[in-house]
């Protein structure tokens, strides 16, 4: 089969690799019909995340049809149309049973390495480094889904492929970001970044009762998409974000702040260049430019929600501001298994069409060049959908 493989920083390649096979009784094999490039894939593309190996198959946002099931899978049939969460979870452990699926105890075969790094191991992930299990990903024609009896969600006719694939990661991630912001009626929410996750966070914040949402970025096409979702926008290259937010919120500051940027943030201030150097010299693994500003901007007693990905250490986190303003922090990988049924219902009821975020549709074979376009934010690129069965 064809698959997108990592060949080093800045190098993705479409290779012919062996088809996946059933290894464990609860596995299934899915023929992928639609898959995506995620903003978090860019962290590996740019070489900022260790434990990626040459030849690893990328991709953790995909959907398709079941073509084979393991002996232990009784609730799926060949031909079922399904979407698969980006995290792999067993459904049996304490964390899965308590809806904290991304913290599954049992799905990371390299848990020992993750324990060295984090103290305890989170769930395994598709196509996202060996620290998270080294599972082959879904930017391919086929994929092996472990624990498929709890990791495949059947789709109704009412949901299109392009809508469904947004349920694998970014819609749930944006929604959990808004939920983590502890939004109450009358609240003003500020969101750093206007990438795909932020676009869903904007719309989710309104679903959860936000009064106003303010979105911050520097790319006009992304800011426009945010405005289409009902947000007011700030271009951080044109205005002083902290002053503007204070003024827009009557001097109080936003009630919830959401860092939908993560470890490769850009900024207009001096600290951005400090972080660029520190990250390039491996003094820190993330540039928390957006996070620092979000902490500073947040009102007293407000909530900081972090859906943006961080992998290791960051420098100069303003913990004093966070402490003395009594902030609450909520963060983490998305508990996708928990959110898919909730959000699938909203899509089926027509409350939202999650395909709005897609700007590029290309055959899988075009993936390497699309990584570059997406990374460089060229050509108005916000969300790339890859079609394995389309002719190149």
Partner 1 sequence: MYQPQTRASLQPTMSKINIGQPERVLSLVGGAALTGFALFRWSAASIPALAAGLLLVSRAMRGKSSLYRAMGRNTAVKTNPRRVSVPHQQGIHVARAITIDRPASDLYQFWRDPVNLPQVINFIESVQFTGSNRAHWTIKLPGGMKSEFDVEVYTDVPNEVISWRSLPESQIQNAGSIRFRPAPGNRGTEVHLTLEFIPPGGPLGKAAMKMFDDVPGQYISQYLREFKQIMETGEKATTEGQTSGREKEVQR
Least distance from partner 1 to the Cβ atom of residue 145, Å:
11
Q: Select 58 or 66, whichever has its Cβ closest to partner 1.
A: 58
Indicate the residue among 102 and 107 with the shorter CB distance to partner 1. 107
State the nearest-atom distance from the C-beta of 370 to partner 1, in Å: 18
- Which residue carries 């405005």 as its tokens? 227
Instruction: Note the residues at the interface with partner 1 (CB under 8 A).
Output: 1, 3, 5, 13, 15-21, 23-26, 53-57, 72, 88, 90-94, 97, 105-109, 111-112, 115, 124, 133-136, 144, 146-147
User: Shortest approach of partner 1 to residue 391 CB, angstroms?
Assistant: 20
Which residue in the block uniquely carries the two structure tokens 């969300």? 383
> In this complex, which beta carbon is closest to partner 1, that of residue 56 or of residue 255?
56
Measure the CA–CA gap between 59 and 390, rounded to whole angstroms: 18
Q: Which is nearer to partner 1, 146 or 311 (CB)?
A: 146
Choice between 98 and 324, CB closer to partner 1? 98
Residue 86 or 135 with smaller CB distance to partner 1: 135
Helix (H, G, I), strand (E, B) or coil at 94: helix
Residue 99 backbone zone (phi > 0: left; psi -120 to 50: alpha; other: beta)? left
CA distance to 224, 261, 293, 308, per residue, from 287 (Å) = 26, 10, 12, 11
Minimum distance, C-beta of residue 90 to partner 1, in the bound complex (Å): 4
Smallest distance, partner 1 to C-beta of residue 63, A: 19
Residues ≥6 apart with Cβ < 8 Å to 248: 188, 214, 232
Give alpha helix (H) positions in the chain: 41-45, 94-97, 111-118, 148-151, 161-165, 170-180, 196-207, 220-228, 241-248, 270-280, 289-297, 319-324, 336-348, 367-375
Q: Helix, strand, coil shares of the chain as percentages rounded to 5?
A: 30, 20, 45
Q: Taking Cα atoms as reference points, which of 36, 11, 13, 39 lies closest to residue 374? A: 39
- State in angstroms the smallest separation of the CB of 108 from partner 1: 7
How many residues make up the chain in this entry? 392
Q: How far is the CB of 109 from partner 1 (least distance, A)?
A: 5
Q: What's the rounded Cα separation, in Å, for the pair 340 and 169?
A: 9
Q: Which of 136/234 has CB closer to partner 1?
A: 136
């Amino acid at each position: 089969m064809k698959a997108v493989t990592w060949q080093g920083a800045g190098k993705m390649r479409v290779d012919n690799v062996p088809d996946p096979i059933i290894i464990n009784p609860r596995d299934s094999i899915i023929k992928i019909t639609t898959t995506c490039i995620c903003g978090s894939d860019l962290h590996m593309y740019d070489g900022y995340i260790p434990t990626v190996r040459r030849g690893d198959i990328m991709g953790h946002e995909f959907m398709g049809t079941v073509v084979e099931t393991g002996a232990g899978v009784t609730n799926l049939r060949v031909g079922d149309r399904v979407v698969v969460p980006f995290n792999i979870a067993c459904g049996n452990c304490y964390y899965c049973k308590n809806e904290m699926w991304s913290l599954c105890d049992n799905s990371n075969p390299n848990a020992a390495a993750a324990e060295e790094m984090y103290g305890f191991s989170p769930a395994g992930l598709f196509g996202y480094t060996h620290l998270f299990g080294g599972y082959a990903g879904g930017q391919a024609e086929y994929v092996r889904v472990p624990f498929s009896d709890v990791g495949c969600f059947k789709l109704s006719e009412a949901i299109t492929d392009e809508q469904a694939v947004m349920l694998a990661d970014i819609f749930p991630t944006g929604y959990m970001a808004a939920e983590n912001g502890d939004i109450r009626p009358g609240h003003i929410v500020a969101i750093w970044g206007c990438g795909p996750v932020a676009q869903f966070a904007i719309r989710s914040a309104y679903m959860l009762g936000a009064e106003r949402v303010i979105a911050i970025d520097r790319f006009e096409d992304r800011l426009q998409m945010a405005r289409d979702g009902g947000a007011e926008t700030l271009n951080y290259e044109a205005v002083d974000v902290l002053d503007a937010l204070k003024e827009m919120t009557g001097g109080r500051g936003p009630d919830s702040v959401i860092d939908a940027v993560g470890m490769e943030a850009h900024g207009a201030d001096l600290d951005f260049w400090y972080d660029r150097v520190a990250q390039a010299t491996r003094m820190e693994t993330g540039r928390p430019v957006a996070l620092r500003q979000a902490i500073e901007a947040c009102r007293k007693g407000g909530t900081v929600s972090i859906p943006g990905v961080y992998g290791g250490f960051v420098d100069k986190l303003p913990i004093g501001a966070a402490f003395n303003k009594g902030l609450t922090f909520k963060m983490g990988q998305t508990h996708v298994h928990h959110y898919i049924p909730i959000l699938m219902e909203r899509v089926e009821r027509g409350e939202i069409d999650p395909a709005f975020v897609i700007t590029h549709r290309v055959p899988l074979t075009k993936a390497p060049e699309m990584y570059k376009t997406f990374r460089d934010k060229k050509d108005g690129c916000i969300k790339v959908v890859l079609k394995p069965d389309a002719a190149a």
